[in-house]
Amino acid sequence: MALFVTLTSLAAAQKPATPVDPESGLLKDEAGTWKVARDRCTECHSATLLQQNRTSRDGWIRTIRRMEEDEGLQPLGDLEKQILDYLAANYGVQVRPSELRRRRAPLRQPPLADGG
């Protein structure tokens, strides 16, 4: 009985899960900014990219700038701050950029022996 009461108390004390949009898989926020991010970001790619590519706010800014310069993304204008706030809060990292794990160095393999 005591175990049941303890588990029930723990479950009640936990923060409720963040609602997820079943169609896009994006986390919903109270302000509804997830819809703005969904509408703008999924014009060119799947919402899955947002979920897979967690980065800092600066990282999201760099990603947006790269897409503007290299991939033809139209400037977000007044929506940029809203979208950045949403991405940083829901798909950000909570460490300083200097602490982010970098991609591993390429493997060094010996040159192939000449067969002749």
> Residue 33: CB partners within 8 Å, gap ≥ 6?
82, 83, 85, 86
CA atoms within 13 A on the CB side of 43: 12
Asked if residues 33 and 80 have their Cβ atoms less than 8 Å apart, the reply is no
The tens digit of pLDDT for each residue in 28-68 reads 999 999 999 999 999 999 999 888 888 999 999 999 999 99
What was the pLDDT predicted at 62?
95
What are the residues facing 20 on neighbouring strands? 27
Angle at 68 between CA 32 and CA 26, to 5 degrees: 25
- Report field, pTM of the whole predicted structure over 0.95: no
- Encode pLDDT of 56-108 as tens digits: 999 999 999 999 999 999 999 999 999 999 999 999 986 455 544 555 566 67
Query: Candidates 1.10.760, 3.40.50, 1.20.58, 1.10.10; correct CATH number of 19-96?
Result: 1.10.760
The Cα 28–Cα 26 span in angstroms is 6
- Classify residue 27 by its DSSP letter: B
Distance (Å, whole) CA 46 – CA 14: 31
pLDDT at residue 2 tops 90: no
Q: Max alpha carbon distance in the chain (Å)?
A: 79
